[in-house]
């Protein structure tokens, strides 16, 4: 009787808020496929990180080390882009698993490296995934160029701190924390605007005249 394969599941989502549910959905889909095959789940690796180059994915690195120690017979992931962002990243990982006798199952694209067709499909799908990312980046660059051509702002919109509040901090009438509570703008942003005003050599505006200040002026005369 053939021994049941030991499988490790890897799931990953980005760091954006609200991705916990997506992480759970990925796991359920992969687990369903693994159980259908009669494999035994020995460990689940979960990352909350981008797949971009240089991003820290501790669980992915731990999985690869465990694969080199043959702590499981197969790796199951939800989709090809969970493994990496480039053809090289994906194929390098797949080849590393193959050298150690670890199989790869990609549920969404129905890739199974136990077959020659599965290996060929992996290479083709990885190429298409990279092409789609490059097309998306190109469309983004074109959109930015179009906005610049129209004189529209590009990137993050700067948070404006009313000049009166900056002046109040410069005159030491208020602290950055007080202005933050009044305006809802972060303390770091307010301090940055105050530093910019000091660097520009822009003096604080004089306080506007009030009835009390006018009265005091008249009494002096």
**Tens-place pLDDT, residues 64-113:** 999 999 999 999 999 888 888 777 778 888 888 988 999 999 998 888 88
Q: Is the pTM of this model over 0.75?
A: no
The per-residue pLDDT for range 99-157, each reduced to its tens digit, is 899 999 999 888 888 788 887 877 787 777 778 778 888 888 888 888 788 877 666 55
Q: Domain map of the chain by residue range?
A: 6-134, 163-207
Could you say which of 14, 50, 86, 175 is catalytic?
Answer: 14
What tokens appear for 183 in the block? Answer: 């305006």
CA atoms within 13 A on the CB side of 221: 4
**Strands 74-77 and 111-112, bridge-based pairing:** unpaired
Residue 61's CB is within 10 A of a number of other CB atoms, namely 12
Strand-pairing partners, residue 11, are 46
- Provide CATH code, domain 6-134: 3.40.50.1390
| 14 belongs to the catalytic site | yes
């Amino acid at each position: 009787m053939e021994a049941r394969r030991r499988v490790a599941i890897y799931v990953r989502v980005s760091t954006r808020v609200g991705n916990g549910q997506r992480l759970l959905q990925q796991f359920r889909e992969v687990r369903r496929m693994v159980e259908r095959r009669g494999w035994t789940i020995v460990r689940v690796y979960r990352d909350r990180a981008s797949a971009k180059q240089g991003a820290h994915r501790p669980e992915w690195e731990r999985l690869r080390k465990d694969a080199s120690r043959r702590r499981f017979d197969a790796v199951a992931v939800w989709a090809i882009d969970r493994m990496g962002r480039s053809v090289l990243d994906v194929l390098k990982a797949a080849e590393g698993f193959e050298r150690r006798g670890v199989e790869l199952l990609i549920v969404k694209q129905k890739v199974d490296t136990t077959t020659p067709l599965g290996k060929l499909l992996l290479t083709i799908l990885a190429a298409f995934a990279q092409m789609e990312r490059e097309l998306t980046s190109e469309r983004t660059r074109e959109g930015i160029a179009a906005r610049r051509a129209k004189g529209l702002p590009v990137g993050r919109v700067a948070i404006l701190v009313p000049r009166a509040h900056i002046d109040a901090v410069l005159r030491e009438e208020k602290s950055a924390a007080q202005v933050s509570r009044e305006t809802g703008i972060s303390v770091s942003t307010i301090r940055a605007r105050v530093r910019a005003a000091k660097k520009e050599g822009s003096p604080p505006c004089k306080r506007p005249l009030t009835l009390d200040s006018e009265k005091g002026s008249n009494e002096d005369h």
